[in-house]
Each structure stands twice: as structure tokens, then as C-alpha cells.
């Protein structure tokens, strides 16, 4: 494993995710993807161009991984790859 790698076990989260409300699975963007205006009010609509800033994620494990990647990019402005598999090796291959 390299310094820039991490592994997460989503088993418990995937079970808990089935009980999550729509609000708990919704993430609001910090920056508008259209006009790049910063969303300081945590509004669901951009104050400049009225674009929808919230994104609802589903119940599946694939959606949980998409949500994780979205949150990383939204918070620290870096993209990351992620793979899903029954073990670390398969997940690493799937992330490529």
C-alpha cells in the first residue's frame, strides 16, 4: 500500500444506509459547478445562476462510494478513485 492509498470496509455502512433518510443522503455543493460561485449560505440553489446545488445519493454501495468521492472533491477540491471488491486487491484493480 502506498502513502496515497486507503481501504475502507463499507459492510456496516451498507446495512445502515438502507435506513438513512433522503436528507441524510443529500449533499450540498460548496461551489456552484456552473458559475463557480461559493455557496456560503449552504443553500440548495446557487444565488448567482439558480443552479441546483444539492445531490441525492441512493441506497446501493456504489452510491455510497460516489457520495464519498463527491464529498472529498467538494471539501478539499481533489478527485480520488475508488474501487469496490470483496478484498483489497480486487478493489484496487477495480479502481483503475
Here the cell at position 4 is 496515497
pLDDT at 16: 94
pLDDT at 6: 84
Domain ranges of the chain: 11-95
> Does residue 73 carry a catalytic annotation?
no
Residue ranges in 1-96 assigned as alpha helix (H): 11-17, 61-76, 88-95
pLDDT at 62: 93
Place of cell 478484498: 87
For the question of whether the overall pTM of this predicted structure is more than 0.95, the answer is no
pLDDT tens by residue, 16-28: 999 999 999 999 9
pLDDT at 42: 83
Report the number of secondary-structure helices (H) and strands (E) in the chain.
3, 2
Amino acid at each position: 500500500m502506498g502513502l496515497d492509498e486507503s481501504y475502507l470496509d463499507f459492510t456496516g455502512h451498507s446495512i445502515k444506509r438502507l435506513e438513512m433518510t433522503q436528507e441524510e443522503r443529500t449533499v450540498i455543493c460548496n461551489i456552484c459547478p456552473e458559475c463557480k460561485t461559493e455557496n456560503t449560505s449552504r443553500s440548495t440553489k446557487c444565488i448567482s445562476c439558480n443552479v441546483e446545488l444539492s445531490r441525492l445519493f441512493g441506497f446501493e454501495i456504489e452510491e455510497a462510494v460516489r457520495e464519498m468521492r463527491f464529498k472529498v472533491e467538494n471539501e478539499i477540491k481533489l478527485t480520488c478513485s475508488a474501487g469496490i471488491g470483496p478484498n483489497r486487491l480486487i478493489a484496487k484493480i477495480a479502481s483503475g
